[in-house]
Structure 1
Amino acid sequence: MAVHLQMVEEVEQGLITTDEQAWARMAELAALDLPEPIQPFAAYVGSFLTTVGEMAAAILAVGPIDAYTAKSCADTAFEKAGTSGYTGVEDGKQDAFRHAYWNVLMSRDIGTSQAKKVADIHEDYNPGTALANEMDLWNNSVGRNIWSAYPSSSDDSNNALVTETKSKLNAGLMKYIKNGAIVWTNA
């Protein structure tokens, strides 16, 4: 995973701008035999796309640049969810916000089709309960729909998109788990 984390940083910094550059840099970094941090299979170690298998599947599905951009979006979503004021890191409103906001950011940065591929891969590599999977898939879709309906002339900064995502959550358009059942976020 250390190679992938280094690649995310280099894409964020604009040092790598094409998939061809990314493939070459990945091979170069892999040859350095960087140490891999030990991580549980499905843990949120800061965000989404935290296992090598999940990141590799995303790279194969959408290419290195979009996969690393998706990881950067995941990190941002995780950070913003933590300061959102919502509770429930797992299966609560904070989780609903994180999934939707991640998909909003990915849709803006890599397109809704690529965002769906990466989000679906994440769910495949991190299976939860049937209720949690239903909730996550719903909220991922809401996030992509938020971006699709977002006026192109509007402010598309991260803060503006946080506000938009929160407004949809507060309006009850997302789902979370409460007392063992999926409920709307305005409940």
Structure 2
Amino acid sequence: MTSRFENGRRAQGSVREGAEDAMFGNYLFGDESNFDLRFVPEYKRITEIVDALRVLGMRVVLTSGSFDIIHEGHSMYLEAARRFGDFLIVGLDSDEKIRRRKGPNRPAVPEMERLRMVTHQRGVGLVTLKQVDHPRWSLIEAVRPDVLVATADTYTAEEIAELEDAYCGRVEVLDRMATVSTSARLRRIQLGLSDRGADGSGRRED
């Protein structure tokens, strides 16, 4: 005779398997995963995926950025963000969004190439675009992450309190991990200079 406990475990397993098969078909977790499957432009679809991830008992992490000219600092940052949970979602600023903030000569790398580069970073589960006309915090509202990861200059203390109250479990602030910024690297490329100092060591330029 099957116990109620065993029936409960079987039902819970069916829910988990159904969510995984229906929402992902296992592709987000397999070696066959690729850009076409990991790039999700529709925020409504992202919300559906996050809901299914939570049925599977997974903690969702969200972070955002430009990721223009991917370097080791970006990789280290994404690896650190991923460690706060089980599934990392990355919001990547669109070309127009970056131009509004940094001027007509940026980004150096177009958005589709940046999306592909971030998608292939180890630990990144899903990537989406943040468009210039999206309402403020719309991606955060769509994901409602367990952990929102940002750099120190992204949000004020008041904004962090508001985000934690309305949209996410907690906000984790990380230091920038690059030894040289993208802007500084572009300047040095234009000047024909190396990123390394005379002694062969890297140095940070803000």
TM-score computed with the length of structure 2 as normaliser:
0.28
TM-score computed with the length of structure 1 as normaliser:
0.30
| More helix as a share of residues | 1
Larger Rg: 2
| More strand as a share of residues | 2
